[in-house]
Every structure is written in C-alpha cells, then in structure tokens.
C-alpha cells in the first residue's frame, strides 16, 4: 500500500492510524479502504480537533462507509467492544480505524475480534 497516511496494519483487512484530518479520507479511499471507524470523541483535546461530522462528510464524498464509535482512551467497556464487533460484521473491508494515537483503536479491534 503506497500512501503517505500513518498506517499500522493490525491484520490483513484492517489498519489503525492516529487522528486523521478530513482531507485524508480521499487518500484512504485511493489506497483501497472501503470503510472508516472514528474511535475518538469529538473535542477530546478541545477546539482544533476535526469533528466527526467533518470527517464523515469527507469520507462519504470519497465513497467510504463511515461510523463514529467514540470510546475513552483508557477503557473500552463491554458495550464498546460489542458495538465494534457489530461494526466489524457490518462494514466492508478493508477498514481503517483511528483515534488520537491508534492504540485504543487497535485494542478495541482486537477485543472485538475475541468477542465475536
């Protein structure tokens, strides 16, 4: 995958990334992603962080499925894990998940795989 996006593969059908701006959605689609999951709560670090609505608009314009599943950085509840497992069953692959650093998205994805 030739891209400037800061991607880290977590399996053959998913990658995680740190916070992505709306402009990154076109690049994600270009390199073959079919869906994006944003695990970052809006305004987690105050103003300046792009909102889910801004990213969703860019993702949909690029032809991507988009879901916002905000979770806390230090704790993913059983409900969060079940919701991610449902998204994994619903969304087309390959999928791109992101949060502030990519770590919580990776943990959530792996927990959802074990759950499912």
Query: Is 3 inside a domain boundary?
Result: no
70 assigned to some structural domain:
yes
Report the mean per-residue pLDDT for the chain.
94
Scanning the structure block, which residue is given the tokens 């909102």? 51
78, part of any domain: yes
105 found inside a domain: yes
Residue 1 forms part of a structural domain: no
Strand partners of residue 98: 17, 38
* Domain assignment present for 2: no
Which of the 8 DSSP states describes residue 2?
-
Beta pairing, strands 14-17 & 8-11: antiparallel
The CATH number for 56's domain is 3.90.190.10
Q: What is the pLDDT of residues 60-73, one digit of tens each?
A: 999 999 999 999 98
Please state the domain count of the chain. Answer: 1
The pTM of the full predicted model, rounded to 2 decimals, is: 0.95
**pLDDT single digits (tens) 29-62:** 999 999 999 999 998 877 788 999 999 999 999 9
- The residue segments making up the domain with residue 103 are 12-115
Evaluate whether residue 5 is within a structural domain. Answer: no
pLDDT value at position 116? 61
Cα-Cα-Cα-Cα dihedral sign, residues 110, 60, 18, 104: negative
Torsion angle in degrees (nearest 10) through CA of 17, 20, 22, 27: -50
The predicted structure's pLDDT at residue 60: 98
What 3-state class would DSSP assign to 95? strand
pLDDT value of position 35: 98
């Amino acid at each position: 995958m030739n891209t400037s996006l800061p991607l880290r593969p977590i399996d053959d059908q998913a990658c995680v990334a740190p916070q992505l701006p709306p402009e990154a959605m076109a690049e994600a689609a270009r390199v073959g992603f079919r869906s994006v999951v944003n695990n970052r709560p809006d305004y987690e670090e105050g103003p300046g962080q792009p909102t889910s609505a801004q990213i969703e608009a860019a993702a949909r314009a690029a032809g991507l499925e988009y879901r916002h599943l905000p979770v806390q950085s230090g704790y993913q509840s059983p409900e969060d894990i079940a919701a991610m497992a449902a998204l994994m069953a619903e969304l087309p692959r390959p999928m791109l998940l992101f949060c502030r650093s990519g770590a919580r998205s990776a943990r959530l994805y792996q927990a959802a795989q074990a759950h499912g």
